Amino acid sequence: MKSAMRSNFIDTYKVAALFYIIVKMKGIYLAFEGGEGFGKSTQAKILFEKLKEKFPKRKIILTREPGGSSIAEEVREIILTSRKDEQIQLLTEAYLFAAARAQSLRESVVPVLEEGGIVISDRTFYSSIAYQGFGRELGWKKVWKINQEAVGKIKPDLVYLFDGDPKIGLDRICKNKRETNRLDKEKLEFHKRVRKGFLFLCDKEPKRFVTIDGCSSIEKQSEIIWAQFCRFNRRSAYDSAKMVQ
């Protein structure tokens, strides 16, 4: 009887210890992806503030792609600014995104993850596959090859994909008078191809992606995002517990 109780206590202790290591110590990389005008950036900021409140002693950053470091922000300016004198070639655009990504991942993201912190990123390499691979029709395999060395093994643990009819999203941008960039101004067909790319990625990696209805309320989106974050932590703890049994 005592032996069984001792065994149960040890098992419980192992799970509790592993949960602490994963939730409190292991770095977590969260990505917010999707088309324009569906609240992606707003929700990234909301989650950032909530996590800072829940884990006040933990390093938590909110970053973006392209951007997230001084060099990457300069590249962002080149990529997203419209120019009358010269147009960025499609292949050049893809390489510029990858270059900014290589810099920001190593300068801003990796150090936080190695500390056991939490990174929230407004876009990642998945956007390159959707926008350049599908939107620009360069092909997703080609764009992934360009990004492979830049990304390495640094992939998000969880991706929130904000999905909706591109026309609705673009109409929202106009209505809200949000500042637009060169990609925002592309034709509707381009944005439809981008959406197709994101849905393709979602089907390809269903365990990593969580689809959020881009037309639902801010409150509903936030509720789903938090629930999925908690679920991810529980699943991580459970998977690690199985490994040591």
pLDDT (tens place) for every residue of the chain, 245 residues total: 555 555 554 455 554 554 555 455 689 999 999 999 999 999 999 999 999 999 999 999 999 999 999 999 999 999 988 777 788 999 999 999 999 999 999 999 999 999 999 999 999 999 999 999 999 999 999 999 999 999 999 999 999 999 999 999 999 998 887 778 889 889 999 999 999 999 999 999 999 999 999 999 999 999 999 999 999 988 765 555 444 44
pLDDT score, position 84 = 73
pLDDT score, position 120 = 98
Distance separating alpha carbons of residues 23 and 233, to the nearest angstrom: 6
CB 84 within 8 A of CB 133: no
Beta-bridge partner residues of 84: none
pLDDT score, position 244 = 43
Domain 32-177+184-240 has CATH 3.40.50.300: yes
- Domain extents in the chain: 32-177+184-240
pLDDT score, position 150 = 96
Question: Can you give the chain as a three-state secondary structure string?
Answer: CHHHHHHHHHHHHHHHHHHHHHHHHCCEEEEEEECCCCCHHHHHHHHHHHHHHHCCCCCEEEEECCCCCHHHHHHHHHHHCCCCCCCCCHHHHHHHHHHHHHHHHHHHHHHHHHCCCEEEEECCHHHHHHHHHHHCCCCHHHHHHHHHHHHCCCCCCEEEEEECCHHHHHHHHHHHCCCCCCCCCCCHHHHHHHHHHHHHHHHHCCCCEEEEECCCCHHHHHHHHHHHHHHHHHHHHHHHHHHCC
Distance separating alpha carbons of residues 223 and 218, to the nearest angstrom: 9
CB 243 within 8 A of CB 195: no
pLDDT score, position 241 = 46
The binding site comprises 34-41
Instruction: Return the half-sphere exposure (C-beta side, CA atoms, 13 A cut-off) of residue 166.
Output: 21
Distance separating alpha carbons of residues 24 and 29, to the nearest angstrom: 13
In angstroms, how far is CA 92 from the centroid of its own chain? 23
pLDDT score, position 237 = 58
The binding site for ATP comprises 34-41
CB 30 within 8 A of CB 120: yes
CB 61 within 8 A of CB 120: yes
pLDDT score, position 234 = 82
> pTM, whole model, 2 decimals?
0.86
